[in-house]
């Protein structure tokens, strides 16, 4: 934080106790100090998650030990919090056995494997305009790097896989051989239904439906909660598209502000039909 002019002192409250902290808005980081030791206790980022809403990602540091005159934390936890879900999830929890200062490494130790052997690009995680920090956390927590691509209608590829069902379209948003993503678009007489909602592609997919099918998207059905299948669901909700979700998962999806739902269960499936097709 030394090279920033925006850093400022602040306080953060936990369970009625005020903690001294420093805040750097340019990096969206807050360092919260232990009131007894004055050592860093929590390093916090506030994230906008498409499902959980405003969330905090807290890196907890404790069990400090002196190594050659410097205090290092030896217990590390990462905890993700969401007020809308009452979420308090531990993402990481580990103990550092030993700290070695200024160790020697072979010259190519940090080069990693070649890019042609990896599913992820050979680049460090970074911010991408238009992508929320919450999505980046979820993606990078899976050790997949920042393999997020430009999302425009020109980059879409569309196929009609079944000749007898011309109303069913594969919308290929990423044709990568290893980590590619497809969405299904089902065309009805007056509307379209989209299956899944990967991040970045919502606007492009809705533009394609409007341009080529000449109909609005009225429903979206996410197959499950993973980022690459549901990270763009909030953008559909903002466009007044209703969600089709299983009844058992309603509480999870209901965190999305102003979302409207159609639910189903094992005995009462949701069926959408017109004079030509039902799904």
Quote the percentage of the chain above a pLDDT of 90.
49
Mean pLDDT, all residues of the chain: 85
Q: Find tokens 């390093």 and name the residue.
A: 43
Low-confidence ranges of the chain (pLDDT < 50): 145-146
Give dist(CA 200, CA 106) in Å, integer. 40
Does residue 217 contact residue 204 with C-beta atoms inside 8 Å? Answer: no
Contact 62, 93 (CB under 8 A): no
pLDDT for 145 = 46
Q: For residue 146, what pLDDT is reported?
A: 47
- List, as own/partner pairs, every contact residues 239-244 make where C-beta atoms lie below 8 angstroms and the sequence separation is at least 24, other chains included: 239/202, 239/206, 241/194, 241/217, 242/218, 243/219, 244/193, 244/219, 244/220, 244/270
Residue 4: the pLDDT is 60
């Amino acid at each position: 934080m030394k090279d920033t002019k925006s850093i400022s002192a602040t306080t953060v409250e936990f369970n009625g106790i005020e903690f001294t902290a420093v805040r750097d808005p340019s990096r969206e980081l807050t360092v919260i100090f232990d009131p007894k030791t004055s050592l860093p206790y929590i390093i916090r980022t506030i994230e906008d998650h498409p499902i959980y809403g405003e969330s905090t990602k807290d890196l907890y540091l404790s069990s400090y030990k002196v190594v050659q005159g410097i205090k290092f934390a030896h217990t590390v936890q990462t905890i993700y919090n969401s007020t809308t879900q009452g979420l308090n999830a531990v993402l990481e929890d580990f103990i550092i056995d030993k700290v070695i200062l200024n160790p020697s490494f072979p010259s190519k130790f940090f080069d990693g494997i070649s890019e042609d052997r990896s599913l992820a690009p050979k680049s460090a995680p970074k911010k991408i305009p238009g992508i929320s920090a919450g999505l980046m956390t979820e993606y990078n927590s899976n050790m997949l790097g920042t393999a997020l691509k430009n999302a425009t209608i020109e980059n879409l590829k569309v196929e009609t896989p079944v000749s007898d069902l011309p109303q069913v379209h594969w919308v290929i948003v990423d044709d990568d051989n290893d980590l590619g993503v497809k969405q299904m678009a089902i065309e009805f007489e007056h509307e379209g239904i989209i299956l899944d909602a990967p991040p970045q592609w919502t606007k492009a997919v809705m533009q394609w439906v409007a341009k080529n099918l000449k109909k609005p998207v009225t429903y979206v059905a996410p197959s499950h909660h993973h980022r690459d299948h549901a990270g763009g669901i909030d953008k559909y909700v903002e466009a007044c598209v209703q969600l089709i979700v299983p009844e058992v998962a309603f509480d999870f999806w209901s965190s999305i502000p102003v979302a409207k739902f159609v639910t189903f269960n094992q005995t009462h499936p949701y069926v959408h039909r017109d004079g030509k097709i039902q799904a």
